[in-house]
């Protein structure tokens, strides 16, 4: 389908992806998957896809657009079966085109296979070159296609064995779901970089999803996280579990799941995301007390931190911005005039909250530095006497190669400006970032998390020259 994106500035990391796997005998699995993907929509809005099996054959439907745009009642009615995997996509390797949307599906000597993936393989370029030299044709620029082609040629008598064989060669972040004609698998990398949880359906069957909130949406109970290095086959009774690779000596759970990516109702590494964000706000208030009249969040991911900041500081919390959640993806091309409105298309200010007030504006991160300034200007236009910016994470100074779209130093404002220079750039009266130590205190763990975007200390070495669209020139 055709879709025009309004070019809106954004200071946040781009979403990763959401994956979903379901085995639900005697249920309308396609409709279940639709609502599960809907609960994961915040993790990617570029494309959505769904593959369903009836035990004999697979049917796939995917396209660019939101879940509600890609799947109509007529589409879902044709997708009958007990097994399904789905995906919501924001591109981190490969451009946002239909050919890169997921799941990927191929025929193998063992039968049909579909795969949906959240993460990035840092050695995808090397693996891709090996496949092409062996005569394997590739049709996309996604590392997910590399993974499914490797699975098709992997060694082993069972899918457990073949998945384990392929995992020996994958280096990087992958939380993925696999669909065969009569099985669904959930797989997580040894570092545990990206989230993946499993829940049991009350009437039989299991669901795997990137976030526990999607499992709750479908009524799951007995939810647990897939362990690093684990392969889990969803079934009607007990889960079939295989520890394919030993967990890495040092896990590398993504801190940004707590800071920004996950919905507040999710649990990540056994911790409530809302509670962690609340504590991030508290630590931010304790770190450098600020005089102010009102604390406001940038909706939606900063709400929990702003509430924590307000409670710890004693400054009243209120709503300052109203977010138009539907402006980011539209079928209508905006006029040049509307394009120049920029951030004002996405946010409106509640003037009664702001006028003649010293505003403490809480946000979770600043990546590119192109939204914070316009937001501050909106507040000043609404009559704010002062605007103090408080960020509930440290400065992002290094790119991510493990599934977040911030792949170059050039786009990271903190990589080439000091905090004071950023403050001047965005036009704030003051700017404070939470320290790394206080952030990890709020999370409740000093170890086991990947903080490479803050520190430059990567848990997995990335290839030189890795870029999101690095495979594009290899596609005919």
Residue 85's SS3 state is: strand
Whether 423 is catalytic is no
In the numeric block, which tokens belong to residue 342? 């920029």
Q: Residue 108: how many CA atoms within 13 Å on its side-chain side?
A: 21
The CA angle 52-57-59, to the nearest 5 degrees, is 40
Alpha carbons 126 and 133: distance in angstroms, whole number: 11
CB 87 within 8 A of CB 63: no
Query: What DSSP assignment string belongs to 331-362?
Result: SSPPPHHHHHHGGGGTEEE-HHHHTT-EEEEE
CB 37 within 8 A of CB 20: yes
CB 149 within 8 A of CB 106: yes
Cβ count within 10 A of residue 233: 20
Helix axes 143-152, 124-133, angle to 10 degrees: 50
Alpha carbons 314 and 72: distance in angstroms, whole number: 48
Residue 84's SS3 state is: strand
Active site residues: 17
């Amino acid at each position: 389908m055709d879709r025009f994106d309004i070019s809106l500035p954004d200071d946040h990391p781009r979403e990763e992806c959401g994956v979903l796997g379901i085995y639900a005998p005697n249920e309308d699995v396609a409709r279940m998957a639709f609502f599960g993907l809907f609960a994961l929509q915040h993790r990617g809005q570029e494309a959505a896809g769904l593959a369903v099996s009836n035990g004999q054959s697979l049917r796939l439907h995917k396209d660019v657009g939101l879940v509600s745009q890609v799947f109509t009642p007529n589409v879902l009615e044709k997708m009958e079966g007990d097994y399904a995997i789905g995906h919501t996509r924001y591109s981190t390797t490969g451009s946002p085109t239909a050919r890169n949307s997921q799941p990927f599906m191929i025929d193998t000597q063992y039968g049909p296979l579909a795969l949906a993936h959240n993460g990035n393989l840092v050695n995808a370029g090397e693996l891709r070159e090996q496949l092409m030299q062996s005569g394997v044709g590739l049709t996309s620029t996604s590392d997910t296609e590399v993974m499914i082609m490797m699975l098709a040629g992997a060694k082993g008598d069972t899918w457990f064995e073949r998945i384990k064989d392929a995992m020996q060669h994958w280096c990087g972040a992958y939380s993925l779901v696999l669909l065969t004609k009569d099985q669904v698998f959930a797989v997580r990398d040894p570092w545990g970089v990206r989230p993946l949880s499993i829940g049991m359906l009350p009437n039989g069957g299991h669901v795997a999803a990137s976030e526990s909130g999607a499992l709750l949406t479908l009524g799951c109970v007995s939810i647990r996280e897939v362990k690093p290095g684990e392969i889990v086959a969803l079934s009607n009774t007990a889960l079939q579990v295989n520890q394919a690779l030993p967990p890495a000596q040092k896990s590398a759970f993504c801190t940004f799941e707590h800071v920004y990516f996950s919905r507040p109702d999710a649990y990540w590494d056994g911790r409530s995301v809302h509670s962690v964000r609340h504590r991030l706000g508290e630590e931010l208030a304790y770190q450098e007390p600020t005089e102010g009249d009102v604390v406001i969040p940038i909706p939606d991911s900063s709400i929990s931190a702003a509430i924590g900041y307000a409670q710890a500081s004693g400054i009243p919390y209120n709503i300052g911005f109203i977010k138009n959640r539907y402006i980011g993806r539209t079928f209508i091309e905006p006029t040049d005039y509307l394009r120049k409105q920029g951030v004002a298309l996405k946010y409106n200010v509640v003037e009664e909250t702001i006028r003649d007030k010293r505003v403490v504006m809480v946000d979770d991160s600043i990546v590119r530095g192109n939204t914070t300034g316009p937001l501050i200007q909106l507040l000043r236009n609404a009559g704010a006497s002062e605007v103090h910016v408080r960020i509930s994470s440290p400065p992002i100074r290094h790119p991510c190669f493990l599934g977040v779209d911030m792949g170059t130093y050039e786009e990271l404002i903190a990589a080439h400006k000091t905090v004071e220079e950023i403050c001047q750039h965005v036009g704030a009266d003051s700017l404070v970032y939470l320290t790394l130590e206080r952030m990890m205190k709020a999370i409740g763990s000093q170890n086991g998390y990947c903080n490479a975007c803050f520190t430059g200390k990567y848990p997995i070495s990335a290839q030189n020259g890795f870029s999101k669209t690095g495979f594009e020139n290899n596609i005919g």
